[in-house]
Amino acid sequence: MTIVYILYSRKISRFYSGITSLSVVERVHQHLEKHYPNKFTGHADDWEVFLTIECGSLKQARSLERHIKRMKSSIYIRNLKKYPEMVEKIRNRFASF
């Protein structure tokens, strides 16, 4: 199973989305331990899981993550959490991937 995860940092008031086949807890730990120091998540040390979306395949997860990143909107991300039917709609949209 592959998971699209969205992290939030209060410190920099930004979201970060990624994909993992590891546990989300382990992946967040990697970000917090700065395994990726030159990457975006290296700018903050208070990342917390905002939302996770389970996907049926890596290809579906990549498509879904790309869609979220292309939206470039914190309001859109907040609405994904607020309205779970939005998550189902986009997950179904990329289900054939």
User: Which pTM was predicted?
Assistant: 0.90
Confirm if 31 and 5 have CB atoms less than 8 A apart: no
pLDDT tens, residue by residue, 6-22: 999 999 999 999 999 98
Domains in the chain, number = 1
39: domain range? 2-93
What is the C-alpha separation between 64 and 93, in angstroms, rounded? 9
Looking at residue 43, what is its pLDDT?
85
Answer whether residue 28 shows pLDDT above 70. Answer: yes
pLDDT tens, residue by residue, 57-77: 999 999 999 999 999 999 999
Task: Provide the CATH number for the domain around residue 30.
Answer: 3.40.1440
Q: Dihedral angle at the C-alpha atoms of 51, 5, 76, 66, nearest 10 degrees?
A: -160
Picking from 21, 23, 28, 22, the residue whose alpha carbon sits closest to that of residue 6 is 28
